[in-house]
Amino acid sequence: MYTLNNNDINILDLPDEILLRILNKLHTIEMLYSLVNVNQRFDRLVLDRFYIHHLDLTIKPLLYHNSSVNNQKIFDGICTQVLPRIHHKINKFTIEPLSMKYILDTIDYSQLNSLSLVNFQSETLLQHLTGDTILLRLLNNQITHLTIDITDKISEIPDGNQLNMFALILSISKCLIDLTFTQRTKISFSNLPSTTCVSSTLTKLNITVNTFDDCLYLLDGCLQHLSILIIHIIEISDSSLNIDNTKNLPKLKCLSLTSYWYTYFYNNRIVPLLRRMLNLEELILFLSIKRNESTYIDGTQLYNDFLINMPRLNKFIFSIHTYIKNDHVKIDLPSKNDILNSFIKRGYQHVDTYADKKLIYNRGYSHVYSLPYYFNDFIFMTSGFQGGMFNKVRWLVMLDIRPFENELFQVISHSFPLLQRLSITNLQSQKNKQNSSTFITFAHLFELDLKRTHIDYVVQFLFDKNTSLPRLTHLTIRYEPLATVTQGFTNDAAHLTCAKIKRLVIQEPFVRPEKFLSYFSSLYRLLSSNLVNIGSSYSRSLSIHRSTTHLKHDGTISSKPRHDFKDSPYFGRKAQMPKHKNVES
């Protein structure tokens, strides 16, 4: 038994249970490089199969090292002193391009069956997939579970022909049963022959595609044994392609279908697809639906549309938005209780909803979802939201032509305790701003988008007497309300919040006032660390998520956003939507 002397405490005096807790806080690279070969006890703990069966060798901990020499020294040490001792015990690797050349180019891993390749450029990955490489041999003969994350936007092979990396991976992975494929550029199969993306072993696929046709392509028989499909579709629209959407899919047991953008094609595209899945056991839907001269989607409609065709379904998780436009007919809208009862009578007890009771400009909105809420994103929230508990939600998108009052934000702060990213679109002035004295805290919010809001919401969130945002570092906003609220970057009311901002997105160009950089003091330090020599003068540039801001020679700052906006039901313009890839905090 270990005893501790308060005057002489050594880490080796700690029991194994405490040491293991410490090891759990370390990244794999730090643990292997720093602790292996220190002594027998550390070797026994660090090289235990529980820790080494999955090695995450991504380079995040190496960001603290300033030179590639240090990185090379670390990986050389791991490759020469550690991996030869444990290579036969490793079942899974997570690696990046930098670690790839050290890890997979030297040693064979006889028990490796799962591989995650993250932050790869297509051209870099292609180099490892051609010739007699260890990666190619692994994919041909061993890998059953594969995750690929490709970060470039243009995928081309050196001769200039477009590369479909997804098809290439399928063609060389002879044992693959589980594939998660992510590519920043939109994946499309519309121009490919039906025999291009073929696999006789794949049973589970997680992928994001561009159109609904791409989804139909993957279900057209090329993946013979596919039983689990997790698919996000960027846009569900009409099609002129001749792809069969009638043949039954008896092997499909689980479907997760998500699509954020509003679609008019629920009835003639989504419903026919779901009716083909006669043996489905689990269904997850995240949909936004537009309807003309109609009413809100409810449990009765879902049952008649496709649930009646799924006798084996035992799990149904959903979040469904309905936006209706009734310009020419008058339809009685269902109440909240009507919508809930339509699910209850079909056996779905754990459901909640909020919906417009009356149309505004002949438009109405409803959102119905299963409980507990399953998804990380909560979009198109209106002022009709009444609360709940949404512990999983990290991104919230709010949009309405009715004002969002202070009381609603108080409800939101309690309902979304772990919220990290908030986007608000509302051009209406708050009515009760003068009467509210409630202090609101968003303890985990680090990204805030106010670029399409009334100035009242700028005051609501930037004034520290109204709202506490202790972790806010990313702000997207228009210059005019920002300058007005801060009184030309001089007042104290918003200074505390603005001083913490590290990434600022302002779409329009503006002349930088004298006190701008001192007001955004954290931003100033980031700007100063990225000096770019242009001729005889310098331009400070700030890299911002989804945009790049430049400080010009004349003192103006401009930024160009990377992403456009999709059609918004209330504003007839484009509204920013959540990304699936989490942004670094």
Counting residues of the chain whose pLDDT is more than 90, the rounded percentage is 51
End-to-end CA distance of the chain: 42
| Per-residue pLDDT tens over the stretch 436-455 | 567 899 999 999 999 999 99
Q: Residue 412 in 3-state DSSP?
A: helix
* Model confidence at 76: pLDDT above 50: yes
* Model confidence at 548: pLDDT above 70: no
Within 10 angstroms of residue 437's Cβ, the number of other Cβ atoms is 8
Q: For residues 447 and 566, which has the higher predicted lDDT (pLDDT)?
A: 447
Do 92 and 119 meet the contact criterion of CB atoms below 8 Å apart? no
The pLDDT, as a whole number, for residue 524 is 53
Q: Residue 358 in 3-state DSSP?
A: coil
The pLDDT, as a whole number, for residue 526 is 40
Question: Quick check: is 146 in a domain?
Answer: no
332-357 average pLDDT score: 94
| Per-residue pLDDT tens over the stretch 197-219 | 889 999 999 999 999 999 999 99
Counting residues of the chain whose pLDDT is more than 70, the rounded percentage is 82
Tokens of 488: 């030309």
The pLDDT, as a whole number, for residue 243 is 81
386-409 average pLDDT score: 96
Choose one of 31, 60, 88: the last residue of a domain: 88
Q: Residue 519 in 3-state DSSP?
A: helix
Tokens of 294: 């109609």
Question: Quick check: is 464 in a domain?
Answer: yes
Tokens of 170: 């399928």
Do 150 and 119 meet the contact criterion of CB atoms below 8 Å apart? no
Q: Which of 423, 403, 415 is nearest to 440 (CA)?
A: 415
Q: Which of 132, 179, 123, 175 is nearest to 152 (CA)?
A: 123
Which residue has tokens 């901990």?
61
Residue 263 DSSP symbol: B
Interatomic CA distance for residues 365 and 486, integer angstroms: 35
The pLDDT, as a whole number, for residue 153 is 61
| Per-residue pLDDT tens over the stretch 168-183 | 999 999 999 999 999 8
Q: Which long-range contacts (CB under 8 A, 24 or more apart) does 329-334 make?
A: 329/293, 331/293, 331/294, 331/295, 332/295, 333/295, 333/296, 333/357, 333/358, 333/359, 333/364, 334/295, 334/296, 334/298
| Per-residue pLDDT tens over the stretch 185-194 | 767 776 777 6
The β-bridge partners of 484 are none
- Mean pLDDT across the chain: 82
Question: Quick check: is 180 in a domain?
Answer: no
| Per-residue pLDDT tens over the stretch 483-530 | 999 999 999 999 999 999 999 999 888 888 889 989 999 985 343 233
What's this model's pTM, rounded to 2 decimal places?
0.83
| Per-residue pLDDT tens over the stretch 19-64 | 888 887 877 887 887 788 888 888 888 888 787 888 888 876 554 4
| Per-residue pLDDT tens over the stretch 116-136 | 999 998 888 888 888 788 889
Question: Quick check: is 365 in a domain?
Answer: no
| Per-residue pLDDT tens over the stretch 268-307 | 999 999 999 999 999 999 999 999 989 999 999 999 999 9
Domain of 475 in residue numbering reads as 411-430+438-531
Strands lying side by side in the sheet with 178-183: 54-57, 92-95, 114-120, 145-150, 178-183, 204-211, 228-235, 254-258, 282-292, 315-325, 363-370, 351-355
Question: Quick check: is 113 in a domain?
Answer: no
Q: Which of 527, 566, 579, 533 is nearest to 548 (CA)?
A: 527
Choose one of 73, 88, 103: the last residue of a domain: 88
The region of weakest confidence among 152-161, 172-181, 247-256 is 152-161
DSSP letter string, 47-110? T-HHHHSEEEE-SGGGGG--SHHHHHHHHHHIIIIIHHHHGGG--EEEE-HHHHHHHTTT---T
Confidence of residue 536 (pLDDT cuts 50, 70, 90): very low
Domain count along the chain: 2
Q: For residues 395 and 56, which has the higher predicted lDDT (pLDDT)?
A: 395
Question: Quick check: is 374 in a domain?
Answer: no
Question: Quick check: is 416 in a domain?
Answer: yes
Do 474 and 448 meet the contact criterion of CB atoms below 8 Å apart? yes
The pLDDT, as a whole number, for residue 154 is 52
Choose one of 88, 121, 154: the last residue of a domain: 88
Query: Per residue, what are the HEC states of 435-474?
Result: CCCCCEECCCCCEEEEEEECHHHHHHHHCCCCEECCCCCE
Question: Quick check: is 111 in a domain?
Answer: no
